[in-house]
Structure 1
Amino acid sequence: MDVTFKQRVNQFWLWFEGVAPRFYAEIEAGNCSDLVDEVGQFMGQTMPELAWAFGPGDGGGHSFTVSGEGVVPKQLLAEYWHSHQSQCEGWTFFPSRQPNHDVDGISLAIDGVGQIDANDMLVQTVVDEEAMVFDIVIWHPLFEQFNHELQVQFSFLLLDEVLGEYGTQGWVGGLEMKPLDEQQIDGKRVHRLKDLPKFIDGVQRYHQWNKLPPPESFTAYAIESEVQGPRGDTIAGVTCVPGLLFELMEEGGRLSEDPMAGTGAELAYVQIDSEAFPADQQPEARYNLEEQIQEALDDANCGRILGGATGTEFNYIDLLLFDGEASRSVVESVLTGVNLSGRYRWSQFA
């Protein structure tokens, strides 16, 4: 039987509790690089689709970060991992890459080319008040030596350094690379990269924007006309994984690539006969059912709701399951308890 993600998380914390004192001593002695192979082997076997890193801890000590690298379902795995953390003296744990507070020291060394420093990288910002994001033009003189793909890659690496993983994901809208120079710096539209967090914070406070982290953000959507294939009858819904959901519908009910492959977790949805709900209260009835399912999943620490949708024939509840059949049993017990036996069926995203 495959090891579920819940079991993998338990394995991780048992392992880290045992190695934490030794790891701390090795890092204090300047031997962090000696741990890479050991940690990489364990993480590759236990959490192969999640990135990891050592770093500074909050208020001293050291940290261990697990990251979904901007992919929301994987970020939800990292959040689940983090919610089960053990108390290890001297250690802080993070479920996403954190901003580097030593902004003057942020740089990216590129073999055979040179070094990109945050001090030398310029950004031009346009505030999109409706979307509550910043469209950004970014440039560094060394970008002239790279193709567009590498320019994008290096830009996001450095944006993550100054804003953190969630900051980049939540605040950066459009991204464009084109030449900027220091003479354009005005503190309002053009800044040094290191000054971008302060600028964003000021705009956020001015507009009183209150944004949730990406894994907690839900998007409402509506479908204008029916499409062929699974979920083609969908009218409207909400989701925290819009990209995956729209791909699922566009590709005939299957994802081209399963982001949960190898993790022990599962993306699935329950399809419920719409006639099982009052005709004029389907969204409310589905939402109430989602609340009951989430409460049961929380009690068992084995899954979470990703969203739901109303359709002409069916209602849908999207789920991320951490514990395989045990998670499914929890969901089914709720459905049975509200007299939906025989009126639902399971489907997978991939």
Structure 2
Amino acid sequence: MDEKLHQQIDEWTEADEHQKIVDLIEGLPADERDAEAIGLLARAYNNLGNYAKAIELLETTRAEGVDVANWHYRYGYALYYLDREREALRYFERVHELTPDDEDAVEFISECHVRVPFCRRVNEFWQWFTDNEPRLSAITESREEQGEETVEFVGAGVGLLADGVHFNLGGDHEFTFSVEGHPAHFYLYPYVVARMPEQFKGKWHFLPANPGLHHSFGFRMYDVDVNMDHVRLGVEYDSEANLFNLTFYHPGLCNLEEAQALNAFWIILELMVGEGLTYQYIGEVQRTDAPTLGMIALPELRAHIEKTLKTHGKEVFTNPQEVYHAYERNPKEESDDPRDSIVVGSTCFMPLVREYHAGETGIYDRIEAFGARAVFLALSFGAEVFSTSKEILDFRYTLQDRIEEELLAPSGLGLMLGGAVAPGTIFIDILAYDYYVLLSRLVGLLKDYPKLSTYCVQFRKGGEVIRLTERKE
């Protein structure tokens, strides 16, 4: 395209004169309307809100646009505003592959996920399950090894929740979601299981994580055969951290490279004692080259953990949602990050809190891949509102309970994760299963507290801040 013509189009774009662009490009001779011109025309139609026309134009240059970020961006943009977020997602993901620094593409990826909320995805999964229950039932009753066709069939169903959902279909109508080492799944799969339709209860047994086994078994990985009875463990309990540090020995695993040996061990550990118990109580793991006195067999580990915890007067938990951890922080006075002022807090999702302060987003992003969103409410108050620290804490807990009882639990809109306190601010942490519905309902509830200014913030550094209510003087 002629450079002066391109410059004129850019000027009209900046001035929102998109119809002029349409008239200009459509008036060009056909041989001058190359892929670049058609792309600019599609952009103009996008900006005019004629998304179907933009897609029609872009389809004519699909071959030329395979490796062009702008082509994918414009196509994804049109699909997004046609409320076809699932289709739009793959185009924005391609933009991100081609231009990783494109922040707009990252934001669209995030919104494509959340605009198909977790609540809706769970309903779609159970509708798929209902429609296909006879076939699924036959699969479990056959007790045959699951072939590629079966895995693909069930994978399409769980794929309604998100990409990368692992599962296992067992005998006696057992359907187990596998956490696969990702903490976010402990806070998502239980909701899926809890929404099981009534007609399947009693027949089907859905589990939100691999519960482990109470008997030994054989396992083969990296061309090494492992019998669980032959895996020996040294176990050291750290009562302060409430974690069990392990050293393991097995002749076959000791012959592997260390990274392979550790990977294989973590897999068999979760298969043996369960994903919940492993996540909750296993600390450091090291390999040793020879067995030592006092080692136990791997199948004995579960009983050893449970006995040790009870001896120390502690309960045994396999669901991380049930375990709250208190934490303290040293406030940073000169910081734009609202959570840097936190003094004390408590949470049932400590990895998410740690990730936030480390400036990482792996857990946050995985949550969003399911259409959920981790957020925190920041409630700002003046010095005259509360007289003591106890009043602040009591108010925080009361408000948390109210949000949970009135908004989260009845409609399944999310999960209460905890909260924190800073000078002049109360924080309440929530995992939203339907972010935009929850936002609208929070506004109504928080209007009952006119002395507070309230904001909803994405649980990541630099996350979007939305004002919900403003303090009335």
TM-score, normalised by the number of residues in structure 2:
0.66
Please give the secondary structure, in 2, of the residue aligned with 1:338: coil
Distance in 1 (CA, whole Å) between partners of 2:311 and 2:351 is: 30
Distance in 2 (CA, whole Å) between partners of 1:214 and 1:31 is: 32
Equivalent residue, structure 2, for 1:44: 159
Letter in 2 for 1:270: L
| 1:183-262 correspondence runs (5 A) | 184=292, 189-212=294-317, 213-226=319-332, 228-230=335-337, 231-251=339-359, 255=361, 258-262=365-369
Distance in 2 (CA, whole Å) between partners of 1:67 and 1:323 is: 23
The offset of 1:333, in angstroms, is 2.1
Equivalent residue, structure 2, for 1:173: 283
| Structure having the larger proportion of residues in helix | 2
Please give the secondary structure, in 2, of the residue aligned with 1:258: helix
Q: Contact (CA 8 Å) 1:53, 1:64: kept in 2 or not?
A: yes
Determine which structure has more spread, i.e. the larger CA radius of gyration: 2
Distance in 1 (CA, whole Å) between partners of 2:415 and 2:306 is: 31
| 1:96-111 correspondence runs (5 A) | 96-101=209-214, 103-105=215-217, 107-111=218-222
Letter in 2 for 1:194: P
Q: Does 1:126 align with 2:228?
A: no
Q: Does 1:8 align with 2:121?
A: yes
Structure 1's 300 and 339: CA in aligned 2 closer, same or farther, altered over 3 A?
A: farther
Equivalent residue, structure 2, for 1:19: 132
Distance in 1 (CA, whole Å) between partners of 2:150 and 2:255 is: 34
Q: Contact (CA 8 Å) 1:50, 1:74: kept in 2 or not?
A: no
Deviations 1:104-159 (A, max 9, x none): 22x32125x22122021111111223333321111211223333322221111111
Equivalent residue, structure 1, for 2:168: 53
The offset of 1:348, in angstroms, is 0.5
Distance in 2 (CA, whole Å) between partners of 1:340 and 1:42 is: 47
Q: Does 1:267 align with 2:374?
A: yes
Q: Does 1:145 align with 2:242?
A: no
Q: Contact (CA 8 Å) 2:413, 2:433: kept in 1 or not?
A: yes
Letter in 2 for 1:126: E
Letter in 1 for 2:354: F
**Cα-Cα RMSD:** 2.2
Q: Percent identity?
A: 24
Q: Relative CO higher for 1 or 2, CA cutoff 8 Å, sep ≥ 6?
A: 1
Letter in 2 for 1:55: G
The offset of 1:207, in angstroms, is 3.0
Number of matched pairs: 335
Please give the secondary structure, in 1, of the residue aligned with 2:206: strand
Distance in 1 (CA, whole Å) between partners of 2:394 and 2:164 is: 36
Distance in 2 (CA, whole Å) between partners of 1:245 and 1:26 is: 41
Please give the secondary structure, in 1, of the residue aligned with 2:220: strand
Q: Contact (CA 8 Å) 1:137, 1:175: kept in 2 or not?
A: yes
Q: Contact (CA 8 Å) 1:219, 1:239: kept in 2 or not?
A: yes
Q: Contact (CA 8 Å) 1:260, 1:267: kept in 2 or not?
A: yes
Please give the secondary structure, in 2, of the residue aligned with 1:52: strand
TM-score, normalised by the number of residues in structure 1:
0.88
Distance in 1 (CA, whole Å) between partners of 2:184 and 2:244 is: 24
Structure 1's 274 and 246: CA in aligned 2 closer, same or farther, altered over 3 A?
A: farther
The offset of 1:327, in angstroms, is 1.5
Which 4+ runs in 1 deviate beyond 4 A? none
Deviations 1:274-320 (A, max 9, x none): 32841412122111111111112112211121111111232211111
Distance in 1 (CA, whole Å) between partners of 2:224 and 2:285 is: 23
Structure 1's 71 and 284: CA in aligned 2 closer, same or farther, altered over 3 A?
A: farther
Unpaired segments ≥5 residues, structure 2 = 1-82, 84-114, 461-473
